[in-house]
Amino acid sequence: MSEYSKVKVGKLKLKGEKEKKHKKKSSKRKHEDHELDAAVAKTDSAMHGDWWTTSKVSEIRGSIAIELGDRTYIKALDNGLFTVGAPHAEGEGPDPEEVLMAVPVGDTRVAFKSGYGKYVGVDAKDRMVGRADAIGPMEQWEPVFQDGKTALQGGNSRFVSADNEDSVLVRARTAGQPEMVNIRSHSERAQASGTTAQEDEGNLNKVEINYVKQFQKFQDKRLRLHEGGAEELRVARDQGRLHESLLDRRAKMKADRYCK
């Protein structure tokens, strides 16, 4: 049995944390708690540039950022490694190099693609790396959500954290405080509630324009789109890989400030 299996069956416990007895709440109290949670979530999102915290695997779609620390995000380097980026100011979202594209892999796992066009996995030294051209066992990640805490397990059955030099490792056998992360999304919350995503019904040309605007420099005030046309995106949408196709098209555009 993997370490993750043990954690998933049990609970994500921090060292020194004691068991708490739970009392039943009235419907009025539950409603008040829900409103409080919604207000806290809204404030938290605003403090992070409208990047909101996911709380289940189905919400991890499209553009995401992995927060490891207070307003610090995992950042892709051009050598395929990852580090912890510099802290952001309140109200500021992640930098382009700190944005990953999430691709669903079944009901409990996801794959991530960096802006350099490579899938993110774990190497033989237990480092997070973005060097794969396809999704294999080591490029599959399993988020663990429990009691308001989140940990991210790699294909080596260990958890993501950072060392003293801010290198991102996948080495911890159990999930403690150093392994706690926030997986933040910039997608519409409608996707998280199980309703139809905007791109499932919207105009695909507009979808791509909104997506590209997040990354292009606009040095000459002109928007550059891929010449593939909407038909290519329509096929990708039907096959459930629209976001991956958008990323691939963006990577081919020389005007993009993030992808090569």
Contacts of residue 39, Cβ cutoff 8 Å, sequence gap at least 6: none
Q: What is the pLDDT of residues 217-236, one digit of tens each?
A: 545 556 667 777 777 877 77
Which candidate, 77, 88, 81, 253, places its Cα nearest to that of 184?
88
* Residue 146 sits in the same domain as residue 58: yes
Out of 163, 186, 209, a domain closes at 186
When divided into structural domains, the chain yields a total of: 2
* Residue 65 sits in the same domain as residue 119: yes
* Residue 169 sits in the same domain as residue 204: no
* Residue 164 sits in the same domain as residue 56: yes
Q: Comparing 101-115, 128-142, 237-251, which segment has the lowest mean pLDDT?
A: 237-251
Over 50: is that where the pLDDT of 195 sits?
no
* Residue 57 sits in the same domain as residue 165: yes
Question: Can you tell me the mean pLDDT for 163-182?
Answer: 97
Out of 186, 218, 238, a domain closes at 186
* Residue 100 sits in the same domain as residue 63: yes
- Tell me if 104 is assigned to some domain: yes
* Residue 60 sits in the same domain as residue 182: yes
**DSSP code of residue 57:** G
Say how far apart CA 255 and CA 11 lie, in whole Å: 46
Question: Can you tell me the mean pLDDT for 64-74?
Answer: 95
Out of 150, 165, 186, a domain closes at 186
Over 80: is that where the pLDDT of 112 sits?
yes
Over 70: is that where the pLDDT of 211 sits?
no
Q: Comparing 9-18, 94-103, 122-131, 224-233, which segment has the lowest mean pLDDT?
A: 9-18
* Residue 56 sits in the same domain as residue 172: yes
* Residue 130 sits in the same domain as residue 178: yes
* Residue 93 sits in the same domain as residue 140: yes
Say how far apart CA 215 and CA 194 lie, in whole Å: 27
Say how far apart CA 144 and CA 256 lie, in whole Å: 33
Per-residue b or e along 10-34, where b marks 16 or more CB atoms closer than 10 Å to that residue's CB? eebbeeeeeeeeeeeeeeeeeeeee
* Residue 118 sits in the same domain as residue 164: yes
- Tell me if 38 is assigned to some domain: no
Residue 71, domain extent = 52-186
Question: Can you tell me the mean pLDDT for 32-48?
Answer: 72
Over 60: is that where the pLDDT of 215 sits?
no
- In this structure, what CATH number is given to the domain that contains residue 163? 2.80.10.50
- Tell me if 11 is assigned to some domain: no
* Residue 180 sits in the same domain as residue 229: no
The token pair at 14 is 């921090």
Query: Is 115 within 8 Å of 99 (Cβ atoms)?
Result: yes
Which candidate, 95, 5, 91, places its Cα nearest to that of 47?
91
